[in-house]
Structure 1
Amino acid sequence: MANGVWHTQYDIEINLTRPDLGADGYPGLLEEIMTSVSERNPQLLECLAHRAGKPCASETGGKSPWMFIRRARVGGRYPLVAAHLPITHKPTPAESDQHKATKERIVQAAVQFGLSADAEVGLPSRRGVTDAMVTGPAGVRIGWEIQYSPLSPSSVHRRSVIAMEHDITPLWVAKDDRAALIDRAPWARVDDMSWKKIADGSEMIIRGGYRHLQVWRCLSSSALHCPDTEGAGHCGAIHAEWFLPALCDPPKPSVRIEDLILTSATGDSVPVFVPSRGGGRVGRHMWVPRADCGTWRELTGQWDPLPKAQEPEAGDEITFSEQEVDWTCRAGEEGWFKSDVRPVRDLGQPTGGFTLARMPAQRQRRSTWITAVERTAAAAALGCPPWEVGPCLQCSQLMRRYGRNAAMACNACRTEACP
């Protein structure tokens, strides 16, 4: 890895350890050099040693003197580093066989469902190309982006924003639970499979990125743990969180990639952005059933499926160490610069964190005054229609008060009256 490169278009040295990159008067320079190689001139950035006529270890080894820039992770710092492109005869990143097989499978599955689908679709603004475009019967367009190789968070965000500007919902596919694209945009994670298995139609389960809403009353009889007491007790409140299908109560069927291809295009599965408990624009992206999305919106009042902007996360903030540029080619040297292992981003833990506090036993207002949020949460937790929800005559807690097999008092009050 190198801490500097030569910009062949501007004919300047770039120092990656300085905030101004060691070059004044070039607005947008950082964004320009961070652009994916497939979207720029692959010979834009040159190894400094090669530029100075000195030995370039990469070129000597039959590879490339041209370079690309990425963020590294070292001891809690996030510096910019330069690395050589892998090959000389074709500097742009070659699509892997896995990538091609997944793209073809998405298009073929969509066509079999009667949907419109094409591969390598260019955007009208010519600012990018979508791996696979699937269009639903109502005109919903899903832009599938298969990303099995590392990609910077800023690139994911930039390309997602461009897609949304053209009324295309981005759907990123990863195979690594450490991929930087996870929770940066709507995503789905599949198993790391060979291209032959993908092409032969082997089952591709969505391991991460798709969730179901679980709403439950936090009682001792509940199979789900209390998120507020960290599983140490039961608070009696109504909780709502998003769970992976296998962790639901009862467990939900696994979602295959073909399921998501169809339901995302028809609108039966929709993207949802759930802010973290601290609020702001940092949170979780996920695909969810449309009905669950409606319930979540009624409970929380969150109506925007995607954030309009993102706050910087760890790894988005670049660290500048203010060093001198090293003109020696470091390609192939072991241990000169080693990045920390990327952290796991797809943890699979329940997320959401909405809690409807337990209503007071003696309310001063009329017991028939039930808010829309209270009614929706209680109906979801009790598994009944909202119009069957009503207050217990004894303690005023919400229960299934109306309809067939309903009661006048809740189970707790009936047990206390007739032990």
Structure 2
Amino acid sequence: MANTVWHTGFSLMLDLNKPDLNHPGIPNLWDMLYNHDRELAVRRIPVPQRGLQCGGVCRKAGVVAWMYLRQQANGRREAVHERREDEDRHTAPMSDEHKAYQERIVRAAEDGGFRAGNEVRTAIGPRKWIQTDTLVENGDGLRIGWEVQLSSASVAGPRSVRSRANKAMSHGITPAWHTDRSDYARRNDTQWTRSDNLPARVIAKTGVLRVVSGFRALDIWRCDSRALYLCPDGKHTRCQKMHATPKPRDIDFDGLVRKTAAGLVVPVEFRDGSSTHRFWVSDADRDRYYDILGGAPAGGVEESGRTRAGHASVDAPTCRPRVVLTSPGRVLDWRDSSTHWSSEMRPCRHCKGMTPLRNDFGVPAHKVCEENAAEAS
């Protein structure tokens, strides 16, 4: 509920704390507006078409929040938000740190040439929206929905983090949740990133702000006698398969904002046995992960199983590849993405399948195909 209401039809700001709604020159204003609103409700006119908006907290935040009028049995006058999240904005004031993160995301995105805005509503139906703390768009259809979570976040129910993240993904928004709480960084309901707990004045600065968890590099290796890691399948002998090991990496927050908008940093779901871990990786690591291990295509798969272009997989592959090399063979070191990866998909010179990978001479080739060819020669 709110005490200040903006009437779009009359261009009047109404103060419900005052008997005359702060317009002494218009007699019986409340009765007129309330009876008209009730009549529209009986006629099933949607709330956004009745002309009443929150004129307080929501308006100051740049959010259009539609309202309807209500009068209690004791005569108390109320204006009620149509949507719960608009109501919550009044009872849970945004912290200075939260505001500083929102402003920093917008600044970092715009410095990188992207569009960005705070408290953005994205229509998903005639009377439904997704509201995002900060929405960044790259102009080519990729939208990153940043949610800054510095307070308690639900783990179950329709307002839970996972539910909200799934809702965003199902409507073409890649969710990016950021926090300063270490316990959230260990959760796997979405791809969390975390920075240290800092005051608003530090967050707002233009200097480096480190993301200390949530971004990783994928070390992809063959399980043979030269491997540095134990076989994740739990075998005592080497299985000769390809595996991936995630390794934590720091990244600059401003760089993360720009790289996610550019599609250079993407979310993945990494399965380790029965556990699923969600984090961010470079698009080169993601493509190598899917390409080498024979998993989902780089375009991604929704929960329903449909491919969704431009987004990472919601149902990522396990570390068990379709193609298993039965001999150690020759292992190529293609970890340098500046040499062995391109944003352009081209046919592999061996199998003719499409790949972003390049060999030492810049020729399109899958790493597995190149190793097999080297072994055969």
Please tell me the TM-score bracket, short chain as reference.
Answer: 0.5 to 0.7
Question: What is aligned with 1:284?
Answer: 277
Whether contact under 8 Å (2:244, 2:289) holds in the other structure is no
Matched residue count: 245
Could you tell me how far apart the structure 2 residues matched to 1:182 and 1:219 are?
Answer: 33
Question: What is aligned with 2:326?
Answer: 359
Could you tell me how far apart the structure 1 residues matched to 2:185 and 2:282 are?
Answer: 25
Question: What is aligned with 1:389?
Answer: 371
Could you tell me how far apart the structure 1 residues matched to 2:366 and 2:90 are?
Answer: 60
Deviation, structure 1 residue 289: 1.6
String of CA shifts for 1:333-383, please: whole Å, max 9, x gaps.
Answer: xxxxxxxxxxxxxxxxxx96446755169xxxxxxxx9999x999x99xx9
Unaligned runs of 5+ in 2: 1-57, 59-64, 68-88, 305-316, 329-349
Q: 1:132 is matched by which residue type in structure 2? A: T
CA pair 262-158 structure 1, distance change in 2 beyond 3 A: same
Could you tell me how far apart the structure 2 residues matched to 1:256 and 1:175 are?
Answer: 14
Could you tell me how far apart the structure 2 residues matched to 1:137 and 1:107 are?
Answer: 15
CA pair 376-106 structure 1, distance change in 2 beyond 3 A: closer
Could you tell me how far apart the structure 1 residues matched to 2:248 and 2:185 are?
Answer: 23
Whether contact under 8 Å (1:137, 1:266) holds in the other structure is no
Matched, 1:106 2:73: no
Q: 1:103 is matched by which residue type in structure 2? A: Q
Whether contact under 8 Å (1:98, 1:198) holds in the other structure is yes
Among candidates 245, 251, 254, match of residue 255 of structure 1: 251
Bigger strand fraction? 2
Among candidates 295, 298, 306, match of residue 301 of structure 1: 295
Matched, 1:237 2:240: yes
Could you tell me how far apart the structure 1 residues matched to 2:187 and 2:102 are?
Answer: 19
TM-score by length of 2: 0.54
Could you tell me how far apart the structure 1 residues matched to 2:198 and 2:189 are?
Answer: 23
Among candidates 175, 182, 189, match of residue 194 of structure 2: 189
Within 5 Å, which residues of 2 pair with 1:3-402? 92-125=91-124, 126-154=128-156, 155-179=160-184, 182-229=187-234, 235=238, 237-246=240-249, 254-278=250-274, 283-298=276-291, 299-303=293-297, 305=300, 308=303, 353-354=319-320, 359=326, 385-390=367-372, 400-401=374-375
Instruction: Let me know the Cα RMSD of the aligned residues.
Output: 4.0
Deviation, structure 1 residue 234: 6.5
Could you tell me how far apart the structure 2 residues matched to 1:134 and 1:204 are?
Answer: 19
Could you tell me how far apart the structure 1 residues matched to 2:265 and 2:205 are?
Answer: 26
Whether contact under 8 Å (1:110, 1:116) holds in the other structure is yes
Question: What is aligned with 1:53?
Answer: none
Does 1 or 2 have the higher relative contact order (CA < 8 Å, sep 6+)?
Answer: 1
Could you tell me how far apart the structure 1 residues matched to 2:185 and 2:283 are?
Answer: 26
Unaligned runs of 5+ in 1: 1-37, 42-89, 247-253, 310-350, 362-369, 392-399, 403-407, 409-419
Q: 1:302 is matched by which residue type in structure 2? A: A
Whether contact under 8 Å (2:109, 2:116) holds in the other structure is yes
- Identity rate, percent: 28
Deviation, structure 1 residue 202: 3.9
Whether contact under 8 Å (2:259, 2:265) holds in the other structure is yes
Q: 1:240 is matched by which residue type in structure 2? A: H
SS of the aligned residue for 1:215 comes to: strand
SS of the aligned residue for 2:211 comes to: coil
String of CA shifts for 1:318-341, please: whole Å, max 9, x gaps.
Answer: xxxxxxxxxxxxxxxxxxxxxxxx
SS of the aligned residue for 1:95 comes to: coil
CA pair 305-151 structure 1, distance change in 2 beyond 3 A: farther
Whether contact under 8 Å (2:217, 2:282) holds in the other structure is yes
SS of the aligned residue for 2:106 comes to: helix
CA pair 222-283 structure 1, distance change in 2 beyond 3 A: closer
Q: State which drifts further: 263-272 or 141-150.
A: 263-272
Deviation, structure 1 residue 275: 3.8
SS of the aligned residue for 1:153 comes to: coil
CA pair 161-236 structure 1, distance change in 2 beyond 3 A: closer
Whether contact under 8 Å (1:153, 1:181) holds in the other structure is no
Q: 2:244 is matched by which residue type in structure 1? A: E
Whether contact under 8 Å (2:213, 2:248) holds in the other structure is no
Could you tell me how far apart the structure 2 residues matched to 1:301 and 1:216 are?
Answer: 15
Could you tell me how far apart the structure 2 residues matched to 1:134 and 1:401 are?
Answer: 46
Deviation, structure 1 residue 198: 0.9
Could you tell me how far apart the structure 1 residues matched to 2:113 and 2:209 are?
Answer: 20
Could you tell me how far apart the structure 1 residues matched to 2:208 and 2:356 are?
Answer: 36
Whether contact under 8 Å (2:216, 2:279) holds in the other structure is yes
TM-score by length of 1: 0.49
Q: 1:264 is matched by which residue type in structure 2? A: T
Q: 2:326 is matched by which residue type in structure 1? A: M
SS of the aligned residue for 1:288 comes to: strand
CA pair 127-181 structure 1, distance change in 2 beyond 3 A: farther
